[in-house]
Amino acid sequence: MKIVEQKVGKNRFSGYQKMDHYHSPETIINSWNEGVHEVVSKGIDSKGLRSPQFGALCAIRSHWTISNKAATIVMPTGTGKSETMLATIVSEKIPKSLIVVPSDLLRSQIYDKSRSFGMLYNIGMLSADVLPLMYFYMHKE
């Protein structure tokens, strides 16, 4: 499996490709069924979501049990907001997400993290069987 990027006008199209076709969203989301493990870090050297990340994930789930309206999750600088966002997408099996950021630098960072699920594989949250989020993405250069 490889990432294929094609230029379409001023945009780049990226997707995970197996053989000569792109994976469907359903195939990718189905790979998330058994490969998501929520591990909370117990210290500096241990793997897992950090406390603020796990707390935010729990707050999001708590909100969604009683409402489908928009909510705001506030996290301090450096606590891993991007990984929390990606952890929410994969753990809740969200098929489509719109991520809005205020700058080109942040857009590029989110693009790179979403291609590989950021640190979620490295911290032990995702097994190797989990396909990354990127299946259709337009990235303006």
Task: Report helix, strand or coil for 121.
Answer: coil
Residue-level pLDDT at 139: 43
Q: What is the largest CA-CA distance in the chain?
A: 47
In terms of phi and psi (left: phi > 0; alpha: psi -120 to 50; beta: otherwise), the region of 50 is beta
Residue-level pLDDT at 15: 63
Cβ atoms 119, 92 nearer than 8 A = no
Across the chain, which has 141 residues, the per-10-residue mean pLDDT values are 66 61 74 86 83 93 94 90 91 85 85 82 88 54 46
What is the number of domains present in the chain? 1
Residue-level pLDDT at 141: 46
Cβ atoms 51, 42 nearer than 8 A = no
Q: Measure the CA–CA gap between 67 and 8, rounded to whole angstroms.
A: 39
User: What is the domain extent for residue 68?
Assistant: 2-140
0.75 surpassed by pTM? yes
